[in-house]
Amino acid sequence: MKGDHLNSPKPEVLRVGICGLGTVGGGTLNLLTSNQQLIARRVGMPIEVVNVATRTLDPAKVAGVARSGTDPFAVVKDPEVDLIVETIGGFDPAFEVVKQALANGKHVVTANKALIAEHGNELFAVADENNVSLAYESSVAGGIPVIKALREGLAGNKIDWLAGIINGTGNFILSEMSAHKRQFADVLQQAQEMGYAEADPTFDVEGIDAAHKLTIMGSIAFGMPLRFSSTYTEGISKITPEDISYAKELGYVIKHLGIARRTDAGIEMRVHPTLVSKSRLLAKINGVGNAVMVYGDAVGSTLYNGPGAGAEATASAVVADIIDLARHQMAGATKPVYPGLGYRELDDNLQVMNIDAIESEYYLRILAADKVGVMAKISNVLQDHGIGIDAVIQKEAESESVPIVILTHLAIEAQMNKAIAALESLSDVTGSIMRIRLEPFHGQKI
Amino acid sequence: MKGDHLNSPKPEVLRVGICGLGTVGGGTLNLLTSNQQLIARRVGMPIEVVNVATRTLDPAKVAGVARSGTDPFAVVKDPEVDLIVETIGGFDPAFEVVKQALANGKHVVTANKALIAEHGNELFAVADENNVSLAYESSVAGGIPVIKALREGLAGNKIDWLAGIINGTGNFILSEMSAHKRQFADVLQQAQEMGYAEADPTFDVEGIDAAHKLTIMGSIAFGMPLRFSSTYTEGISKITPEDISYAKELGYVIKHLGIARRTDAGIEMRVHPTLVSKSRLLAKINGVGNAVMVYGDAVGSTLYNGPGAGAEATASAVVADIIDLARHQMAGATKPVYPGLGYRELDDNLQVMNIDAIESEYYLRILAADKVGVMAKISNVLQDHGIGIDAVIQKEAESESVPIVILTHLAIEAQMNKAIAALESLSDVTGSIMRIRLEPFHGQKI
């Protein structure tokens, strides 16, 4: 063990350095300042921000902080700093900042979901070698303490699955499309104007942000290394108001879910638009909120809901991690209390399944010629592929075509793909078929 | 410090003794056995049940446990036991079992909400003196890790308030009354037949169980000693299907809530039936589930939902506490990581307000003579007491009386009591007035 930081606790104060004073970093500095006395009462010693690095130094922002500058590595090297908060975002220089901080025997708290999901395996190894912690509650679902729930509160359970609305921008867009029958592009523009979506919205609307968060939660749930590249990722940009409307008619809401599930065939890790029964609590989470449902073999279903983003909400989770580490130091811990992903031994054998191998129910929207016998042909194709039909809506003809909406029973995705290809090759079927997965949450009460 | 248990960690195994093998104790033994390997992977060492005490010894139940008997104090004194699980319930002998275990330098994990709420102040002091932990996640909201959320996940926040559905029996009864317009006594009987309610249902339906849980959550939220005797407690036995129906007409659901709130005038701690807007997530929690909404100054509103009772769900929380303590031992902690109520220093100055001093909105159901001018008289009385009217329903006359339902604006309870007394003294008002508090959750999104 190189790090000896925890072996020489300084119980009088925990000294924090913050790298990056943007939304989350600035929120963290503010929260540690405004609630300093309260936090000291909870921990038993004060937590003090003693050094910050920010790209453009605004003296007003760092008033009261002993040292400040523009170089995050100066904070990392500061021997008078016990714990580094990384709120720079992205990979460069965040990766090096975190790695060097850990190598210097400092704990790191980060809100950087991309960094953890894509480089966490390497960084946790560095943390282990140096006997320090890399904490990341704020990287998933903003202020909702869902990492704690998975890693600690439900630690006695075999987690069978979890499903979450984990991108506030996407949920805001779908909620607005649903409430006001608006087009995706139109609501996206509004979300950008309101500051809910970035100028380049790809990370949010194409599901990459959600996939980062799901990757992290899935690894903690099942005890496997982070496998971001295996997480199936599909965004919401193709969802139309018509799909939302047909789903509603059938008793469903379309939500952008991240689903992680342990099955006999392997681990499912997938982010995609999903039909959810309108009676489920998840279906009732509207706007920029996040919610994660977790099923454990002992506890059953639990749900965690709250703000998934925002300066103060995310800072709440950053500060929770700092308080945890301060409490461990106060208790005289000489080693990290939590392994990086909540397991002392990860299971390398757990493999993420290809999306083709998963089993799901499906919503299909087919545009077909307005002729006698079309529905029979479609039904036959599905039957030939072993796919059962649960519900059908056939609407009135639009010009010469008629939209047919079908909900299927459970089917393997590869088989569904074949059936869709066969349906699209029917001369009576016009254009491509819209396919959205449906999650029944069979047997669940909430 | 008398206890030196944590100073001599035995990293090869954590040895657990269970006192009480009823629903929760039996569930804990089962869960520790069935998920033993998984738990060892999370902790880094096995957790083993080595001694159990149960009133009537069933050899089949304790197969695989090294030592067993009928005397809980034998388990407490067993030098080969590191941690005691108290799942006897009640005060006698649970209080002495917990106290002696702590005095013997053993950690204690308990599911006993009455014991913590009514004797926690004394027991936490014994734990402190002996440098061990008394953990009680399972005492509130069953399997939902809400103690962790308050004590750790939201520890950076000043908690302004929390409100919860924390008695599954009561919520089941109100849900059934609401869904099927049934009478209280009728649903209670069904709940007893289904095993959701005890033969003597007082603890559940009169709010005592909820008051125990609220007392615990409020102390952790605000950092004050446990003050069970100051928690206002009102049950659901007087709620009628008519009240539920009028509330519905006005856009509300009646829930049995525990509310803890920090105000400028003091701390509110109160358990009572409450009108909640049907658009709130809390209003959508039906059946035996529990849900707690917590508002922190940084995070905003968060909600925690799941099963509030049941052998396995409660055992999930017991085992979470055991795993926490095992991880602290693995990390070399020499002192408890969490102070009893989450604060190193409690604030003795925080006082719980008398119910007369709280401010609330109200639902009033008044039975009045079916005469011209009655509504004007009632309005005048409310106006004379400075109470504003938000909504009124006047129904058709029932024989010679007419039910008038009023929702008020915010009023101080003492003032409302005076107004109600004045209304009841009107010659046109028949019988006593039904008063139910209404919680608007102003400014909250969820």
Determine which of A104-118, B211-225, B267-281, B397-411 has the lowest per-residue pLDDT on average: B397-411
pLDDT band at residue B385, thresholds of 50, 70 and 90? very high
**Could you tell me if A161 and A440 are in contact, meaning their C-beta atoms sit under 8 angstroms apart?**
no
Please tell me if residue B242 touches chain A, with a CB cutoff of 8 Å: no
**Could you tell me if B197 and B327 are in contact, meaning their C-beta atoms sit under 8 angstroms apart?**
no
pLDDT of A199 reads 83
Contact partners, residue B421, CB within 8 Å, separation at least 6: none
- How confident is the model over B87-121, as pLDDT tens digits? 999 999 999 999 999 999 999 999 999 999 999 99
Mean pLDDT calculated for residue range A424-434: 95
pLDDT at residue A7 greater than cutoff 50: no
pLDDT band at residue B11, thresholds of 50, 70 and 90? low
Please tell me if residue A278 touches chain B, with a CB cutoff of 8 Å: no
Q: What are phi and psi of B226, to 5 degrees?
A: -65, 130
Nearest chain A CA: its distance from B398 CA (Å): 36
Nearest residue in B to A150, CA atom:
B145
Chain position carrying tokens 């952790």: B220
Query: With contacts defined as CB-CB under 8 Å, which chain A residues touch B150?
Result: none
Whether residues B298 and A445 touch (CB distance < 8 A) is answered with no
Question: Which amino acid, B243?
Answer: D
Alpha-carbon gap, residue A73 to A106, rounded angstroms: 13
Give the domain A356-438 fold. Answer: Alpha-Beta Plaits (3.30.70)
**Class of domain B355-438 as given by CATH:** alpha beta
Residue among B24, B32, B157 with most chain A CBs within 10 A, to mutate: B157
Q: Which H helix or E strand runs over A118?
A: helix A113-129
Say how many CA atoms lie within 13 Å of A115 toward its Cβ: 26
pLDDT of B7 reads 39
pLDDT of A11 reads 55
Contact partners, residue A125, CB within 8 Å, separation at least 6: none
How high does pLDDT run on average in chain A? 94
Comparing A267 with A198, the larger pLDDT belongs to: A267
Question: Which amino acid, B178?
Answer: S
Comparing A237 with A8, the larger pLDDT belongs to: A237
A190: its two tokens: 């509004």
pLDDT of B9 reads 46
Mean pLDDT calculated for residue range A138-144: 96
* In chain A, residues 180-239 whose CB comes closer than 8 Å to chain B: 223
Nearest chain B CA: its distance from A38 CA (Å): 7
Out of B99, B106, B148, B213, the active site residue is B213
**Could you tell me if B158 and A35 are in contact, meaning their C-beta atoms sit under 8 angstroms apart?**
yes
Give the domain B155-306 fold. Answer: Dihydrodipicolinate Reductase; domain 2 (3.30.360)
B187: its two tokens: 């649903």
Burial A106-142 (b: 16+ CB within 10 A, else e): bbbbbbbbbbbbbbbbebbebbbebbbbbbbbbbbbb
Alpha helix locations (H) across A284-407? 311-330, 374-384
Alpha-carbon gap, residue B208 to B234, rounded angstroms: 8
pLDDT band at residue A442, thresholds of 50, 70 and 90? confident
Please tell me if residue A10 touches chain B, with a CB cutoff of 8 Å: no
Q: Catalytic positions of A, please?
A: 213
Whether residues B152 and A148 touch (CB distance < 8 A) is answered with yes
Mean pLDDT calculated for residue range B48-58: 94
Query: With contacts defined as CB-CB under 8 Å, which chain B residues touch A175?
Result: none
A78: its two tokens: 């500061």
pLDDT of B2 reads 40
Please tell me if residue B137 touches chain A, with a CB cutoff of 8 Å: yes
pLDDT band at residue A90, thresholds of 50, 70 and 90? very high
Q: Any idea which architecture A146-307 has in CATH? A: 2-Layer Sandwich (3.30)
Whether residues B43 and A344 touch (CB distance < 8 A) is answered with yes
Residue spans per domain, chain A: 5-143+311-330, 146-307, 356-438
pLDDT at residue A382 greater than cutoff 90: yes
* In chain B, residues 293-312 whose CB comes closer than 8 Å to chain A: 296-307, 310, 312
**Could you tell me if B265 and B355 are in contact, meaning their C-beta atoms sit under 8 angstroms apart?**
no
pTM strictly above 0.90:
yes
Give the domain A5-143+311-330 fold. Answer: Rossmann fold (3.40.50)
Nearest chain B CA: its distance from A120 CA (Å): 18
Pick the closest to residue B338 from B182, B161, B127, B31 (CA basis). Answer: B127
Alpha helix locations (H) across B181-310? 184-193, 202-205, 208-222, 241-249
Mean pLDDT calculated for residue range A208-227: 98
Please tell me if residue B109 touches chain A, with a CB cutoff of 8 Å: no
Pick the closest to residue B24 from B137, B104, B188 (CA basis). Answer: B137
Residue B335 annotated as catalytic: no
Chain position carrying tokens 């960690």: B9
B161: its two tokens: 């308030």
Query: With contacts defined as CB-CB under 8 Å, which chain B residues touch A145?
Result: 148-149, 152-154, 302
pLDDT of B10 reads 52
Top mean pLDDT of B58-72, B320-334, B392-406 is at B320-334
- How confident is the model over B393-413, as pLDDT tens digits? 997 776 788 999 999 999 999
Nearest chain B CA: its distance from A430 CA (Å): 41
pLDDT of B444 reads 79
Whether residues A336 and B332 touch (CB distance < 8 A) is answered with no
Q: Rounded to whole angstroms, what are the CA distances from A321 to A324, B204, B270?
A: 5, 36, 31
Whether residues B41 and A331 touch (CB distance < 8 A) is answered with no
pLDDT of A268 reads 98
pLDDT of B127 reads 98
pLDDT at residue A72 greater than cutoff 80: yes
Determine which of A54-58, B407-411, B418-422 has the lowest per-residue pLDDT on average: A54-58
Nearest CB neighbour to A316, from listed B154, B285, B336: B154
pLDDT band at residue A252, thresholds of 50, 70 and 90? very high
Nearest residue in A to B327, CA atom:
A337
Please tell me if residue A13 touches chain B, with a CB cutoff of 8 Å: no
Mean pLDDT calculated for residue range B417-434: 96
pLDDT of B5 reads 45
DSSP code of residue B236: S
pLDDT of B137 reads 98
Mean pLDDT calculated for residue range A306-328: 96
Q: What are phi and psi of A365, to 5 degrees?
A: -115, 120
A218: its two tokens: 């899935």
Mean pLDDT calculated for residue range A417-429: 97
